A = this chain, B = another copy of it.
Amino acid sequence: MYNLLRGKKGLIFGALNEKSLAWKVAERAYEEGAEIVLTNTPVAIRFGNINELAQKCNTVVIPADATNVSEIENLLNETMKHFDGKIDFILHSIAMSMNVRKGRKYDNLNYNYLNKTLDISAISFHKLLQSAKKIDAINEWGSVVALSYVAAQKTLYRYNDMADAKAMLESIARSFGYIYGREKKIRINTISQSPTPTTAGSGVKGIGGLMDFTERMSPLGNATADEFADFCVTIFSDLTRKITMQNIFHDGGFSNMGMSLRAMTMYNQSLDNPIEPKSWE
């Protein structure tokens, strides 16, 4: 509603349904005056309702497997054709762990699954950037954002191999941010978002307790998907041109909390009744 992105063109990965962070970002970017193109895998397109979003945003969906370099190149080329010009901003909101899905614990990983986790959740970001640079798909001062999580810094039980993938994702943002910045003035950042009740997030067992904890730990409470979209828009805009290679925490303060009174008050109820996990499930 500020026209922060007027005249800008963006490509958005990872919208599945109206709960998705990417969905909210697409809506907000469009509201702020951007033209956008949506993309997701063919499976996700069938499974979700991204076409509805495309209609709302007056645009198209171009299917692509983000782990496949030639599909990415095709996507970028088609996107530029659609825009009749280069891209100004990109959101990468893609993550998947087959080890999590199949219930493999972190000390019992299937290494083919791990390779898939990395390929989908981290290397896809490199493939996107390398392809974009090769075909010169992004305008000078363009802005690329990938979605991260605090598990890249701190271990959370059950987050499993996704933690390692997020650590690698943030490293790719730095490594490629250096190169893309020096040569093309393009900035690359990750945003580390509160746990959010998306379809993907809800798949993590025990997420309810964790979200209650982070809500009470964070002085401003968990950041919602709508708030994520608001912040994303500022990072895509021309007002943040000298921020690059950073991971920015958008989490109500959680990442810098050691213990809040609210969370401690909840925890303390259990002090007289100490219990242990039944297993290291």
Binding site for B on A (CB under 8 A): 2-4, 69, 105-109, 111, 114-115, 118, 122-123, 126-127, 129-130, 133-134, 150-161, 163-164, 166-168, 170-172, 174-183, 185, 187, 194, 206, 208-210, 212-213, 218-224, 227, 230-231, 233-234, 237-246, 248-253, 255-271, 273-277, 280
Contact = CB atoms under 8 A, between A and B. Distances in A.
Nearest to A162: B175
Contact of A219 (B130, B177, B273): B177
Which 6 A-B residue pairs are closest in the complex by CB-CB distance?
A181-B219, A154-B258, A167-B171, A223-B242, A156-B258, A2-B2
B156 A259 contact: yes
A122 B185 CA distance: 31
Indicate how many identical chains form the complex. 4
A179 B231 contact: no
Contacts of A234: 234, 237, 239-240
Nearest to A274: B266
Contacts of A206: 264, 268
Contact of A4 (B2, B179, B243, B280): B2
Nearest to A241: B227
Contact of A243 (B129, B183, B248): B248
A210 B240 contact: no
Contacts of A245: 155, 219, 253, 255-257
Contacts of A123: 111, 114
Given A260-B178, A271-B208, A244 B252 contact: yes
A238 B2 CA distance: 11
A185 B264 contact: no
Given A155-B177, A156-B257, A157-B264, 9 more contacts: A4-B239, A109-B126, A150-B258, A182-B261, A187-B220, A231-B239, A234-B237, A261-B280, A270-B270
Contact of A209 (B163, B167, B271): B271
Contacts of A256: 153-155, 174, 177, 245-246
Given A155-B174, A175-B163, A269-B275, A240 B246 contact: no
A239 to B, nearest CB: 4
B178 A168 contact: no
